[in-house]
Amino acid sequence: MSRYFLILGIFLFLVSCQTNDNSISNKFNSTIPELLQRSPKIQLEKEWDYVQNTYADQVTSLKKNNKNEIALMNLAELFVKEARVTGEHGHYYPAALQVIDRVLAKPNITKDIEFRALLTKAGVQLSLHEFSEALQTAESAIKINTRNAQIYGVLVDCYVELGEYEKAVKVSDKMISLKPDIRSYSRVSYLRELHEDYDGAIKAMEYAIKAGYPGYEETAWAMLTLAELYKDQGKTTDALAILHEIIEVRKDYPFAIAAIGEIYLAEGKLDKAEEKLKEAIDIIPEVGFNVSLAQLYKIENRQEEFDAIMKEIFFMLEDDVQAGHVMNLEYADIYKELLNQPKEAIKYTLLEYEKRPKNIHVNKLLSELYAETNETDKARKYAESANL
């Protein structure tokens, strides 16, 4: 999983429409998107009770007054949180946007409600990889409130993804001056990593974790990011210790379980890797878990199982695309790493390059792909663009 999207997930949790057989019946208002039933392994007792009660309370409020903007925004923020916890992105992100746009379409809403709606909408657009649109939304929001730390966090995220790194550093400094918390330290960590200050990145992420509440999902997400940093520095013992610590507090946390599986995969402990990856897949439908398992099948030449899981991966990606999620780099990575089709990967990466030509990772990927196809001049061009 991309480190940046681990960090972005911290924001998406905090800024806080179709039905299927797993939906909880909405008795009050058919225009309100459904709350989907969580997998039993991620219900976490009181947390799931709280989510269900919050949903029911907001719907009841809307039954009494369908113009209740506060209830609508509470629902939108709940949907954003559920998207990451459950992995049901294709349902919850469109659901959140539907509710937010309903708020923004109302005449004479207060500036506080308008700001809250724009802030949350920008977060969803970031998650859908619509970075230019998210920036426009964030710029509208900051005209209303320049003293809110979260909106500067959105701007950091937008500038990072669009390759405006100096601007990202500037607004990150503003954010942490307003509120030094888990969100601001996480962004500092990623910016330091981009500048290859890995010790500084680890230190900042440790600050982020200390600023979080033990046992909260947002804190587990920050710990997961720290584990990824350690893993990339070759400190797998430290990474595994953190991942097991997460699971002690949040049993069956799928991202930590999958991360353990990915470490085992890198170490060649394929039986253990397969066990952990399948365990994570059984908890939530996260495409990245399936991609890692496909890598394992490829290593072991298990062609029938590889073909089957690739079909599932493409189905999941298409489902995300249909829900408005830009998945160009995910497709590129699959064609590069799993299917050994660099020309097809280049096609998808160029689509992303058109959207954000200054992004380091997009340029680096293009350089690698053109090197694979022996187009050295192009490889050199994008390699130069990938330097900070």
- List, for residues 161-218, the tens digit of each pLDDT value: 999 999 999 999 999 999 999 999 999 999 999 999 999 999 999 999 999 998 888 9
Q: What is the arithmetic mean of pLDDT over 119-141?
A: 97
In the predicted model, is pLDDT for residue 22 greater than 50?
Answer: no
Question: Is residue 81 included in any domain, yes or no?
Answer: yes
Our CA angle for 190, 228, 168, nearest 5°, is 10
**Domain limit, last residue, from 127, 152, 168:** 127
Question: Is residue 82 included in any domain, yes or no?
Answer: yes
Could you tell me what percent of the chain has a pLDDT over 70?
92
> Is 191 or 15 the better-scoring residue by pLDDT?
191
Rounded to two decimals, the pTM is: 0.89
In the predicted model, is pLDDT for residue 37 greater than 90?
Answer: yes
pLDDT, residue 215, reads 85
Residue 43's pLDDT band (cuts 50, 70, 90): confident
Burial of 370 (0-12, 13-18, 19+ CB in 10 A): buried
The SS3 assignment for 36 reads strand
pLDDT, residue 337, reads 97
Question: Is residue 174 included in any domain, yes or no?
Answer: no
Angle between helices 89-104 and 303-322 in degrees, nearest 10: 10
> Is 19 or 300 the better-scoring residue by pLDDT?
300
Question: Is residue 237 included in any domain, yes or no?
Answer: no
pLDDT, residue 5, reads 47
In Å, how far from its chain's centre is CA 290?
16
CB atoms inside a 10 Å sphere around CB 267: 11
Question: Is residue 103 included in any domain, yes or no?
Answer: yes
The SS3 assignment for 189 reads helix
Residue-averaged pLDDT of the chain: 92
Q: Give percent helix, percent strand, percent coil of the chain, each to the nearest 5.
A: 75, 0, 25
Which range of residues forms the domain containing residue 342? 327-388
> Is 174 or 41 the better-scoring residue by pLDDT?
174
Residue 156: φ, ψ to 5° = -55, -50
pLDDT, residue 13, reads 47
**Domain limit, last residue, from 74, 108, 127:** 127
Question: Is residue 99 included in any domain, yes or no?
Answer: yes
Tokens encoding 286: 């996260």
CATH code of the domain in which 372 resides:
1.25.40.10
Phi-psi region of 93 (alpha: psi -120 to 50; beta: other; left: phi over 0): alpha
Residue 31's pLDDT band (cuts 50, 70, 90): confident
Task: Report how far residue 355's alpha carbon sits from residue 39's, in angstroms, rounded to the nearest whole number.
Answer: 36
**Domain limit, last residue, from 93, 109, 127:** 127
Task: Report how far residue 366's alpha carbon sits from residue 377's, in angstroms, rounded to the nearest whole number.
Answer: 12
In the predicted model, is pLDDT for residue 387 greater than 90?
Answer: no
Report the number of distinct structural domains present in the chain: 2
Residue 261: φ, ψ to 5° = -60, -40
> Is 235 or 22 the better-scoring residue by pLDDT?
235
pLDDT, residue 1, reads 47
The SS3 assignment for 195 reads coil
Q: What is the arithmetic mean of pLDDT over 360-386?
A: 97
The per-residue pLDDT for range 266-307, each reduced to its tens digit, is: 999 999 999 999 999 999 999 999 999 999 999 999 999 999
Mean pLDDT lowest for which of 7-11, 68-72, 82-86, 211-215? 7-11
Of 156, 258, 155, 147, nearest to 204 by C-alpha is 156
pLDDT, residue 162, reads 98
Question: Is residue 218 included in any domain, yes or no?
Answer: no
In the predicted model, is pLDDT for residue 9 greater than 90?
Answer: no
Question: Is residue 91 included in any domain, yes or no?
Answer: yes
pLDDT, residue 27, reads 39
The per-residue pLDDT for range 311-337, each reduced to its tens digit, is: 999 999 999 999 999 999 999 999 999
